[in-house]
Amino acid sequence: MSSAHPAEGTEPADRDGSAAPSGTVAGPEGGESACWLDRVCPRCDAVADGPPPARCPRCGAELRG
């Protein structure tokens, strides 16, 4: 009889098949903020390097927050 769950007392395997080290905790995932909408130029849709107030790097339009 096969089981879809690992036996009690064993560590789950990572995607590569290696066992996860005991006592490890996954670090936070992520990165940049999800919403950069205030950096998108309304005239040409380019994305500015910084938050408003700024100028579009492509067309020079003023970006307001």
Which residues, 6 or more positions from 59, have their beta carbon under 8 angstroms from its beta carbon?
A: 41, 43, 44, 46
pTM metric for this prediction: 0.47
Residue-wise pLDDT for 9-45, tens only, equals: 555 555 666 565 666 666 677 776 678 899 999 999 9
In the prediction, which pLDDT does 23 show?
Answer: 63
Give the pLDDT score at 22. Answer: 64
Q: How far does CA 62 lie from the centroid of its chain?
A: 28
Q: CA angle at residue 35 from 32 to 36, to 5 degrees?
A: 85
The predicted model gives 4-13 an average pLDDT of: 57
pLDDT at 31: 72
Could you give the 3-state DSSP secondary structure of residue 38? helix
- Range 40-61 average pLDDT: 94
